[in-house]
Amino acid sequence: MTQQGAVLQGYNNELVKCIEDLCMQKEELNKQIQQAEEEKNKLQHEIQVLSEQLECVCENLAQKVASRNELDKILAETEAAYMKILDSSRTLLNVLKKEVGSLKHMPELKTN
């Protein structure tokens, strides 16, 4: 019976060692889980901060694009008006040249 008791004691010692090993593995796994949760929370916070920054940049960009589009419209209208002025100036110059040319052919304006 003492031999059976010794065998039982050996089994018990092995069982306790296995349980201790499992407890250590669980402890290590808990540490890893805690680290992963901390990393996850940190990343989620960074994502939130970056999302807010992205939203601000997008709003700013939209305002700048709208301003640029308005400037493009103003420039196009101004250039078109300027082209009309140039065309009118050319027409006026041509008319003036004709008038001056016809005045030179008048007898009283000719010089002797």
* Residue 103: per-residue pLDDT: 80
pLDDT tens-place string over residues 67-76: 999 999 999 9
Distances (CA, A) of 15 to 3, 9, 22: 18, 10, 10
Q: Which of 28, 2, 57 is nearest to 36 (CA)?
A: 28
* pLDDT over 80 at 97, yes or no: yes
Cα separation of 19 and 75, whole Å? 81
The percent of residues in the chain predicted with pLDDT above 90, rounded, is: 79
pLDDT band for 4, please (50, 70, 90 cuts).
Answer: confident
